[in-house]
Amino acid sequence: MSGVTATGTEKDFAYDKVETLLQEFTGKKGVTVPVLQKIQEEFGYLPRPAMEYVAKRLRIPISKIFGVATFYAQFHLHPRGRNIIRVCRGTACHVRGVSKVAEKIQEILGIGVGETTEDLNFTYEEVACIGACGLAPVMTINDKTYGKLASNKLKGILKKY
Ligand code: FES
């Protein structure tokens, strides 16, 4: 583990995996983004112990690692669900009542925007126009688009996942 010691509840973290990922970057400069990309590929998000480990191993201030991780939308600081729900908050969907749909989904799942259910089945996000305005109000779950949504259709759709 190259002299970096795990502490407290983080002692079970898979530091060996992070160490393996770091091997190809040893001695290289400007690697923060690719290193974080590799970690996210491995874990599905950026676990805090992994970022702390990277900071110590690459001798980069942890504040800089967090700065990069929070600057780029591609990085996630919390675990993500197996299914990603994206509800469109664009103008056409707004006019067609997407607010009620959004509220209902959050009520059914018991989570807010950007959050993930405890069983890690769903992450709920809101996005700008997704280019299917003719079907407003619209959401996607993973790669599938659901249009002309109404609150009473939502439970049936979510049950499929
Ligand atoms: S505004 Fe929702 S798809 Fe365009």
Domain ranges of the chain: 8-71, 83-159
In a mutational test of the pocket of ligand 1, which residue from 129, 140, 146, 148 has the highest number of ligand atoms less than 8 Å from its CB? 129
5 to 48, 81, 111, 112, 131: CA distances (angstroms): 14, 30, 35, 35, 49
Q: Which residues, including other chains, have CB under 8 Å from residue 87's CB and lie 6 or more apart?
A: 93, 98, 101, 102, 105, 124, 125, 126, 127, 137, 138, 139
What is the fold of 83-159? Glutaredoxin (3.40.30)
Rounded to the nearest angstrom, the distance between the alpha carbon of 91 and the centre of ligand 1 is 6
Rounded to the nearest angstrom, the distance between the alpha carbon of 87 and the centre of ligand 1 is 9
pTM of the model: 0.76
In a mutational test of the pocket of ligand 1, which residue from 138, 145, 149 has the highest number of ligand atoms less than 8 Å from its CB? 138
Q: In this structure, what token pair is assigned to residue 125? A: 């996000």
| 113-145: pLDDT as tens digits | 999 999 999 999 999 999 999 999 999 999 999
Q: What does the pLDDT average to over 82-104? A: 97
In a mutational test of the pocket of ligand 1, which residue from 96, 127, 130 has the highest number of ligand atoms less than 8 Å from its CB? 130
159 to 31, 72, 88, 108, 154: CA distances (angstroms): 42, 32, 20, 11, 9
- Closest residue CA from atom 1 of ligand 1: 90
| 8-55: pLDDT as tens digits | 456 678 888 999 999 999 888 889 999 999 999 999 899 999 999 999
* Closest ligand 1 atom to Cα of 135: 3
Name the nearest CA neighbour of 37 among 26, 27, 22, 52.
22
